Amino acid sequence: MKRKKVSLLATLLVVSAIFTGCSFSGGDSKGASSGTTGDTGNTAQTASKELRLSVESEIKDLNQWAASDDVSFTVLNNIGEGLYRLDPKNEPQPAMAESSELSEDKLTYTFKLRADAKWSDGSPVTAADFKFAWLREMDPKTGTNGYSFIMTDYIVGAAEYAEGGSADKVGIEAKDDKTLVVHLKQPTPYFLRLTSLAPYFPMKEEFVKSQGESYALSPQNMLFNGPYTLTSVDAASGAVLEKNAGYWDAANVKVDKVDLKVIKEKSTALNAYKAGQLDRVLLQSSDVNASKSDPGFGTGINFRTTYLQFNLKADGVSNINIRKALEYSFDSKLLADQVLNNGSKAATGLIPDQMSATGGKSFREMQGDLITPDAAKAKSYWEQGVKELGKAPKITMLVADTSETKDVATFMQSEFKKNLGIDVAIDTKTAKARGQLMDNSQYQMAITAWGADYDDAMTYLDLWANHTPYRGNYENPKYDKLITDAKKETDEARRIDMLLAAEKILTAEDVVVVPIYFGGYSYLLSDKVEGLDYHPYGNPVDFKYASIK
Amino acid sequence: MKRYIGIRIVYLLLTLFIITTATFFLMKALPGTPFDEEKLQQLPQEQRQMIYASYGLDKPVGVQYVNYLKNIVKGDLGTSFFYTGQPVKDIIMSRIGPSALIGLQAVLLGLAIGMILGIIAAYRHNSGWDYATMIIAVLGVSVPNFVLAALLQYFVGLKWGLLPVAFWESYPSSILPSIALCVGVIALIARFVRTEMLEVLEQDYVTTAKAKGLGFARIMFQHVIRNSLISVITILGPIVVNLLTGSLVIENIFGIPGIGSLFVDSIKMNDYSTIMGITIFYSAFYVFVMLIVDLLYGLVDPRIRLASGKE
């Protein structure tokens, strides 16, 4: 009896030992190496130029029709390429396309593809590859990243196709292997910028079909046409990219290998940077002051505005004076400089700092400051509002449970108390729950943020023309007309004027949203690295322009 | 014995079924969908519906549940929503390795050191050894493992450069996280062993053994330690399950692609299939370990016999 038990237990122990022993290199199956063996990255390898970077969350998805997060775009942008690619100054430059022509009426683009544009299997990139990939993005059954609007809003017949219409009526023509013609619904001055985004990347139909369900699950199931190819990827630990020798501009790609690691803790990343295992690290606000004197210190801006969204159908905040009182009552400069302290800037409008307008000027330069905090003004608006309502409204602010948003909410709560003498309650929910409450119109005001999809004010202003509860149930014919007219306008200066007017209505006249801050970041960068410029929107970074001393 | 294990396995399956069902419906009660709803906001309602439908999320919860169960019986855990298209089984398998290795090392190390400390403390009761051990135990229980992890990372990894700061690249990567995790185990085990041993040392059979003139080693190993182990085994079950299934905090601090962070993320992202997959995996593992613990009782404690009369 006893002996039997012992042998049973011994077997179990052995089994479990084998199980754990094997799983140490678990990620290695299907080539998705978790980097367990040999390759210790940081040692030696002085001969090849290697860039070692970290990302803050998992590499979710490398299927261009499903990916929607910055980390996936970071990888996709460097292993793939669209018709155009952003240069370090965020201007679109010909990439897969050699040149493009725009018709007189600004509605038809003709792209000539490069003769030496190749896939990593050696086959040429053709116009048909673009057509196939774009149609796939528009089809809700395959394009599940929520980005299809970025095509259906602009391309003739695309919206109808997305709702089950015919593919033949979509305004994308593959004239020959190297000529792609795109028909637009309305003049779109930023269309070339759009073509640099991952959802606009080409893909070879034959290859996708041959991979079936396993397409894009591992490097073996992928095809590359960008400056880099993917050697290994593991969602939770990172990816390794290697220079694509067949890339048309390979001569100008100076970094041979990019080792991208997933590190969720900023303090861990900082330690790894200090230990020489990373070339660049993002700082958390508590580390910023200590790092400011470091020669590698820098800050950058994202096209991401955090703002307060009012629900115009909710009690209290349906009153314009109450909304104005809240708008004027907090000083977001204090918030950005002292609470966030991470490179973020106080918002002076909804459209982020540095977003392009026209004539080389930024939208913010043209509009000027729409919001200046003023406690006295706030107080008088509040009293006016209370008079109109008959009593002081009770106000609750809905926020998501991320640490940054909670800090922002607490700061605003104290400002409301100080300048208006009111107690605003904070309702903290998970991001998903917050989203659902907003969808159901069950909120008074909520802190939320929007990251630009492309470099034009329309990426923001268009949102409030859809009248949904999420956007505060806002409906103003004057505003809607400005947006629809701006979409049709062929004169760029007039179009920008309309958008400037729309922003003013949204934030200053109707006070539907109160911009709080423009998102930014602080980082440390190794002095060996040059030209590693991050873009403020869309595809976050191009390793193509980086070099190592 | 066989009959006993058979009955236990039936219970095991029943428990799993109940846990699966409860988790499924609780999970469906979470607000939101597995998608980036802010982005989907921009699509017309019909297109959003089509996206939900392509994942079968448009059907009533009851129907979704039955479909899920059917697949489970076939051994199919489905594909992840978050990591689009990746089979949940593959994701769990690739993530459990690092967590299990760190957890197993922490358990073995913690068990060994904890027992030694506990035995010394009990044997040298009320001596300096005893007090020193108990101070270690109290510290071990009260210092949170993430504080220890951060200190280890800073000093051992960064300042002294002895071991990797983070990442999961080679065997040495697993050492610091294992140490960070095992301190709590040491403390817990040491205290249990000490208390239990003090009690056993007072027992009549120990006095008898001494009176019979048995050697020191024989008394200690055959009578005292063996009988003190019963309580250790009781707490060992949950400790093993906890540690082998990953620790979110330790995994994040050391940048380890483990299952602890996967589970928390999947809940945050409403990744239904992954939540279910890990729940089933966790509970199956837990129930299995509990079974082993019960079997171990019989091994160390002659007073506990499991229907073994016939043998």
- Is A167's Cβ below 8 Å from some Cβ in B? no
Residues A32-43: pLDDT tens digits?
Answer: 333 333 344 444
pLDDT for B235 equals 86
Please give the sequence-ordered ranges of beta strands (E in DSSP) within A97-171, or none if there are none. 97-102, 108-113
Q: Which of A198-202, A411-415, B296-300 has the lowest mean pLDDT?
A: B296-300
Over the range B48-58, which residues count as b (16 or more CB within 10 Å of their CB) and which as e?
Answer: bebbbeebebe
Nearest residue, CB atoms, B84 vs list A19, A61, A140:
A61
- Is B169's Cβ below 8 Å from some Cβ in A? yes
CA distance A474 to chain B (A): 15
Nearest residue, CB atoms, A236 vs list B257, B270, B295:
B257
pLDDT for A497 equals 96
Strand partners, A111: A100, A180
pLDDT confidence bin for A320, thresholds 50/70/90: very high
pLDDT for A365 equals 94
Cβ contact (<8 Å) for B54 and A141? yes
| Residue with more model confidence, B7 or A240 | A240
Cβ contact (<8 Å) for A27 and B97? yes
pLDDT confidence bin for A258, thresholds 50/70/90: very high
- Is A277's Cβ below 8 Å from some Cβ in B? yes
Interatomic CA distance for residues A403 and A244, integer angstroms? 40
pLDDT for A2 equals 45
pLDDT for B229 equals 83
pLDDT for A51 equals 96
pLDDT for B236 equals 86
CA distance A60 to chain B (A): 5
**A384: Cβ–Cβ under 8 A, 6 or more apart, which residues?**
A321
Q: What is the DSSP string of A501-533?
A: HHHHIIIIIS-SEEEEEEEEEEEEE-TTEE--P
Q: Which of A46-55, A65-74, A337-346, B15-24 has the lowest mean pLDDT?
A: A46-55
Over the range B2-31, which residues count as b (16 or more CB within 10 Å of their CB) and which as e?
Answer: eeeeeebeeebeeebeebbeebbeebeebb
Average pLDDT, chain A: 89
How are beta strands A179-183 and A172-176 bridged, if at all?
Answer: antiparallel
Interatomic CA distance for residues B55 and B85, integer angstroms? 11
C-alpha closest to that of A70 among A244, A302, A343:
A302
Nearest residue, CB atoms, B101 vs list A20, A140, A431:
A20
pLDDT for A25 equals 36
Residues B217-269: pLDDT tens digits?
Answer: 888 888 888 888 887 888 888 888 888 888 888 998 998 999 988 898 888 88
Report chain A's terminal Cα–Cα distance, integer Å.
71
- The mean per-residue pLDDT over the stretch B78-106 comes to 89
- Is A421's Cβ below 8 Å from some Cβ in B? no
3-state secondary structure of B211: helix
Per DSSP, A80 falls in state: -
> Does the pLDDT at position A466 exceed 70?
yes
> Does the pLDDT at position A6 exceed 80?
no
Report chain B's terminal Cα–Cα distance, integer Å.
9
pLDDT confidence bin for A485, thresholds 50/70/90: very high
Interatomic CA distance for residues A397 and A309, integer angstroms? 10
- Is B60's Cβ below 8 Å from some Cβ in A? no
Do B21 and B297 contact (CB within 8 A), yes or no? no
Residues B45-60: pLDDT tens digits?
Answer: 888 888 888 788 888 9
R_g of chain A, CA atoms, integer Å = 26
pTM of the predicted model as reported, rounded to 2 decimal places: 0.85
**Dihedral sign from CA coordinates of A213, A217, A221, A227:** positive
pLDDT for A334 equals 94
pLDDT for A200 equals 96
CA distance B30 to chain A (A): 8
- Is B304's Cβ below 8 Å from some Cβ in A? no
CA distance B162 to chain A (A): 11
Cβ contact (<8 Å) for B100 and A20? yes
C-alpha closest to that of B111 among B36, B187, B170:
B187
Whose tokens are 């007189």? That residue is A104
- The mean per-residue pLDDT over the stretch A184-190 comes to 92
Which of A23, A154, A463 would you mutate first to test chain B, the one with the most B CBs within 10 A?
A23
H helical segments located in B143-271: 145-152, 175-201, 204-212, 216-218, 226-244, 248-253, 259-268
Structural domains of chain B in order of their starting residue, each with its CATH number: 97-269 (1.10.3720.10)
Average pLDDT, chain B: 87
3-state secondary structure of A239: strand
- The mean per-residue pLDDT over the stretch A371-393 comes to 94
* Chain A residues touching residue B96 (CB < 8 angstroms): 23, 26
Phi, psi dihedral angles at A204 (to 5 degrees): -85, 120
Do B166 and A262 contact (CB within 8 A), yes or no? no
Q: In chain A, what percentage of residues exceed pLDDT 70?
A: 91
pLDDT for A151 equals 93
* Chain A residues touching residue B91 (CB < 8 angstroms): 235
pLDDT for A41 equals 41
- Is A427's Cβ below 8 Å from some Cβ in B? no
Q: Which of A93-102, A162-171, A235-244, B227-236 has the lowest mean pLDDT?
A: B227-236
Cβ contact (<8 Å) for B252 and A26? no
pLDDT for B39 equals 73
Q: What is the DSSP string of A283-345?
A: PPHHHHHHHTTSTTEEEEEEEEEEEEEE-TTSTTTTSHHHHHHHHHT--HHHIIIIII-SS-E
Cβ contact (<8 Å) for B261 and A236? yes
> Does the pLDDT at position B166 exceed 90?
no
